[in-house]
Amino acid sequence: MTMNLPWRCILLFGISLCLLAGLSAAPDRKPNVLFIIVDDLTTTLGCYGDRDARTPHMDALAARGVRFERAYTQFALCNPSRCSFLTGCYPEKTRVYDLVTSLRGGVPDVVTLPQLFKNAGYTVGRIGKVFHVPDPKTKLDVELVAPLARDNVILDELKIAQASEGDLSDVPAGKAKREKTYNRPYGPSSHPDRDFTDYEIATRAIATLENFQDKPFFLAVGFIRPHTPYVAPKAFFDLVDPQTIAMPAFYRPEGENVSLIPGAALRPNNNVFSLKAPDVRHAREARRAYLAATGWVDSQVGRVLAKLRDLHLDENTIVVFTGDHGYQLGEHGLWAKQTLFEEGTHVPLIVAAPGIKPGRRAGLVEQVDIYPTLAGLAGLEIPAHVQGASLQPMLADPAAKGKEAVFSTMVSTHTKLVGRSVRDDRFRYIEWDDGRGGRQLYDHESDPNELKNLADEPNQAGRVQRMHARLTDHVAAVTKG
């Protein structure tokens, strides 16, 4: 049965009141918000079932919050993804599809998520990487960028050290040398913690929490690793045994047949191994390095959460944790973001707050839902432009259902074709250039790793047609107005 709009509004208002009642013993104190975004983080967390991950602090946050097991990004690239969840609009609405476009071209008057809280009287700050392209209209109380050069210097030192030991297999030459482009941008370092980018971001976030503690605040903290380069203190590499790492089918002895995958889906310009394809040994090294970098950023997330607890701010703070999109770690031979496969679009999403009982939710949700969820939990009016759906019903009721389908968009890095994906409870359907550039269909019940493309199977023709229609309807709905 479809609930009409007034009743839905009444229901959400009631849920908001119930959740707000648990957020603070003092009814006149607004709940704080800590929004943690980790760059290029896919679901390689212990709480998401990754047996190779070493993420105790993220896992602890999940244990005291609600873990959404099937959350999906709307665009697996930093700028489009962040523009989407920081406005509550799908990429077709923001018209941001690359790393350089400002969201103001497509939605010049939209109120971003930090702006919403600033306008409501909150003290608002962003530390590290929150927006990818700075938004000139989002003026906050504290704005501290990420010191990105630190980890790049560490990577250069690693490569110089390798060369001095006689390993000349990854020394850049010519133009690549001037741009510091390495085929294998990863490795352990003996530098102390304080020399790394994410340590400085966590330190700045901790100082900001101390300054904000006496007033209602919204603080967004954007960590950088495990974005390339995958560098971290050596201790985090030592936690991961490369010989026991679970490898994707592409790197197993039986291999993977990628001949039925459309060319637009298989990007040749990877973020790692951009100059030469890896052998199995280097593929293992890269996965280990990504896991080590994830473990490292976990430790820095832990520092921020510990300060929140030490200041007793956790008693009245909504914590939302996510990655900005998924990431391919060798699946289908890919080492990058900017894909429409499961690994490229699946993201961690955790919401922890007083008054919300811990648990897991298996229903489908999207990152575009973060904006209305935070607004609703804080008792703020959700702006009319928001296209996501509040997750408050799912937070309040473990039996509440998720969405019927979730949607992601992509522009192929080499063919420049627009690709779109729709994922329902069982199937993922992808089409490039409205199907003219190829189609993909995967049955997650029998093929969770998306190894067999069913799009051209005669018995799936009806499903392909229905899912194509669903994509078409979705695009029309989110672009109008």
Q: Which residues are catalytic?
A: 78, 132
Per-residue H/E/C for 196-225: CHHHHHHHHHHHHHHHHCCCCEEEEEEECC
Query: In what helix (H) or strand (E) does residue 143 lie, and over which residues does it extend?
Result: strand 142-144
The DSSP code for 403 is B
Q: Are 404 and 249 in contact (CB under 8 A)?
A: no
In angstroms, rounded to a whole number, what is the distance separating the alpha carbons of residues 288 and 241? Answer: 7
Q: Are 330 and 322 in contact (CB under 8 A)?
A: no
The sign of the torsion formed by the CA atoms of 264, 269, 272, 277 equals positive
In angstroms, rounded to a whole number, what is the distance separating the alpha carbons of residues 430 and 412? Answer: 12
Q: Are 88 and 383 in contact (CB under 8 A)?
A: yes
Q: Distances from the Cα of 368 to the Cαs of 229, 350, 412, in angstroms?
A: 28, 14, 22
Q: Distances from the Cα of 319 to the Cαs of 34, 235, 280, in angstroms?
A: 5, 28, 39
The sign of the torsion formed by the CA atoms of 225, 344, 269, 128 equals negative
Torsion, Cα of 149, 150, 154, 155 (10° steps): -40
Placement of tokens 């690549």 in the chain: 176
In angstroms, rounded to a whole number, what is the distance separating the alpha carbons of residues 334 and 414? Answer: 14
Residues 6+ positions from 477 with CB-CB distance below 8 Å: none
How many Cβ atoms from other residues are within 10 Å of residue 292's Cβ?
A: 26
In angstroms, rounded to a whole number, what is the distance separating the alpha carbons of residues 334 and 283? Answer: 10
Placement of tokens 């060369």 in the chain: 163
In angstroms, rounded to a whole number, what is the distance separating the alpha carbons of residues 356 and 377? Answer: 10
Structure tokens at 470: 């669903």
What is the per-residue DSSP string for 438-464?
-EEEEETTT-TT--S--TT-GGGHHHH
Placement of tokens 């009814």 in the chain: 27
Residues 6+ positions from 145 with CB-CB distance below 8 Å: 128, 129
In angstroms, rounded to a whole number, what is the distance separating the alpha carbons of residues 283 and 273? Answer: 9
